[in-house]
Amino acid sequence: MNVPTRLLLLAVLAAVVLGGCSKTNLTNLYRDPNYPSQPLTNVIVVAVERNEDLRRMWEQAIAAEFQARGVLATPSYQVFPTSLPDSQQVRVVIDRDDMNGAVVTHRLAVTQTGNFGGGYDKQTTMSRQDYWSGWYHSYYQTVMLGSPPPDKEKKGRYQIDVWSALDGGRFVWTGSTVEIDPTSVDKLREEVA
């Protein structure tokens, strides 16, 4: 199998991880056209998520998809059970365990939908300090006061990045999902896995 075919296979594999049963539409796809190395065979999966349950769910679902396709994938929570690792810690594990890449997911912009109800607008004075001069500037800004929308109506987009550890580290592939509800564990698992 030649290098372009292997790279295409890797990109398709990453798309399948997020695509699952074709319920999640991927956007903003990119792959490095000059990536010359072999496909990744041993990766660490990191979900950059503050909610520990969501982090474990994302990592487990993605690792299971890679493992089903013959790629050894280790969820980062198995190596770092108490906290999310930083990039240096991930690099140490990659070198120590002879891994050749990392798959990293993270949340993109969050939007809120629904009826805000009960709130009102108020004009208030705001001020900020100019970084260069040290002077303060005051201005008026309209702010909405009242109850925020329920958490269940928050939606988010997620991005998955594939990094190769070969040749000092290289960004290989990326894609992002359409908006999905991250608080619905079953829906999230269905769309990712």
CATH of domain 3-113+151-192: 3.40.50
Which token pair is 146?
A: 């009242």
Residues of the chain with CATH 3.40.50: 3-113+151-192
pLDDT computed for residue 119 by the predictor = 62
pLDDT computed for residue 57 by the predictor = 86
pLDDT computed for residue 191 by the predictor = 53
pLDDT computed for residue 9 by the predictor = 44
pLDDT computed for residue 90 by the predictor = 93
pLDDT computed for residue 134 by the predictor = 67
Mean pLDDT per segment of 10 residues, for the chain of length 193 residues? 44 46 65 82 93 88 89 96 92 94 84 57 71 68 62 69 86 82 57 50
Which token pair is 60?
A: 């487990």
pLDDT computed for residue 101 by the predictor = 93
pLDDT computed for residue 177 by the predictor = 78
Residue type (1 letter), 185 = V
